[in-house]
Amino acid sequence: MHIKREQFIWNFYKNSKTIIPSCYEYVRFNNQKILNSNASLATTLPNVIYVSLFPTFLRSKLVNEEHYKSKSITHFGFSGVGITLNGSQTVKSYLNSCISRHLRVKLKRAVKKLVNDPNITYEFNFGDISDEKCEFLLNTLHTMTSKRFENKKEAHIFMSEWESNTKDLAALIRQNKSSLLVIYDGKKPISISVKRHISNTILFSETHAYDMDYSRYSLSDLDKYYTLNWCIDNHYPFIDLGIGLSYHKKKWANLIYDIQYKIYYKNNAIARAIALFEIAKIKLKNTLKQQIEYIKNNPLGEIKKI
């Protein structure tokens, strides 16, 4: 085999399966390893291994690493944000050191408003949920998301693959692999988010929706606040807020990460030629994206020289 192609991040998070390409022995966040039970120990090694969509907040150990050289290339315009935590942090210390005073004041008001309203409560469904309750919450999540995006032209990734994204969610919650963070007004859910739990190390906030009639409660910020609380209490070192550099995510983050292509190749003529060809294609794609982005932002300007 001359080239083996693998894709990382979507498979890694999809339905909390923690699928790692077979070419890796493990991936790790800081010192916490996530071992790969499907690591390939095949004696016949491909000349080139091409791994796409690998996030820079992780490190990796390639199987048979001594046989390969490597090249990493950043995916232009495809970055994400996250929250890194250490064992000594509290919610208060993180808020004081990593988010703006304006957001802290706004959040304090939102939490106070919630605490003073006896009908507003929240729960973190993790480790235990009935099939019936999960179905009810997912139906509500679907309705809230559809209503919020009905007048928007962009596609909603989670909704576009609804059936596969929600498959066996109740069972995954009972297995401590997923969770639903819900805020209620009485018995009515007004905010719901789906989380994925990866090896007691990474919490991935996959999707969130809320009832627009309750915007006064700053529900998007409250969802992140209670997620932060839970992760600190349960010693999770990283919260992945997902791809995209939107303001509502960046204001909470202390890390912006890139997505990379990784090319591993043997030290022979065929492997080097294939690797150089793949690297050239990636660089060309990045250049075209940069030009398109530049033209979009400067419609009357000249083509930018890159």
pLDDT band of 300, cuts 50, 70, 90: low
Residue 76, amino acid: F
The radius of gyration of the chain from alpha carbons, rounded to an integer in Å, stands at 22
Residue 302 has pLDDT above 60, yes or no: no
CA distance linking residue 10 with residue 262, whole number of Å: 15
The more confident residue out of 298 and 236 is: 236
Quick one: tokens of 111? 């939490």
- The secondary structure of residue 2, as a DSSP letter, is -
Q: Return mean pLDDT, the chain.
A: 92
The Cα 262–Cα 251 span in angstroms is 29
DSSP state of 252: T
Tokens describing residue 236: 């999770």
In this predicted model, what pLDDT tens digit does every residue of 169-199 receive, in sequence order?
Answer: 999 999 999 999 999 999 999 999 999 999 9
Residue 181 and residue 206: Cα distance in Å, rounded? 11
Listed range (169-173, 212-216, 298-302) with the worst mean pLDDT: 298-302
SS3 of 83-122: the string is EECCCCCCHHHHHHHHCCHHHHHHHHHHHHHHHHCCCEEE
Evaluate if residue 303 carries a pLDDT over 70: no
Q: Check residues 299 and 203 and name the one with the higher pLDDT.
A: 203
Residues 258-272: pLDDT tens digits? 999 999 999 999 999
Cα atoms in the Cβ-side hemisphere of radius 13 Å centred on 59: 7
N-term to C-term CA, the chain? 35
Which is nearest to 195 in space by CA: 221, 161, 172, 220? Answer: 172
Query: CATH assignment of 86-236?
Result: 3.40.630.30
Q: How would residue 3 be classed by pLDDT, with cut points 50, 70 and 90? A: very high
Compute the average pLDDT of residues 273-279: 97
Report the candidate in 276, 206, 241 with the shortest Cα–Cα distance to residue 79.
Answer: 241
Q: Could you state, in order of their start, the residue ranges of all structural domains in the chain?
A: 3-79+257-297, 86-236
Handedness of CA 18, 24, 26, 29 (dihedral sign): negative
Q: Does the pLDDT at position 150 exceed 80?
A: no
Percent over 90 (pLDDT), the chain: 79
Distance CA 268, CA 197 (A): 41
CB neighbour class for 253 (10 Å; exposed up to 12, middle 13-18, buried from 19)? buried
CB atoms within 10 A of CB 70: 14
Q: What is the pTM of this model?
A: 0.91
pLDDT tens, residue by residue, 84-106? 999 889 999 999 999 999 999 99
Residue 23 vs residues 14, 51, 52, 127, 258: alpha-carbon distances, Å: 19, 9, 13, 32, 21
Lowest mean pLDDT among 106-115, 207-216, 292-301: 292-301
> pLDDT tens, 8-60?
999 999 999 999 999 999 999 999 999 998 887 766 789 999 999 999 999 99
pLDDT at 297: 81
- pLDDT of 301 above 60: no
Report whether pLDDT(210) > 60: yes
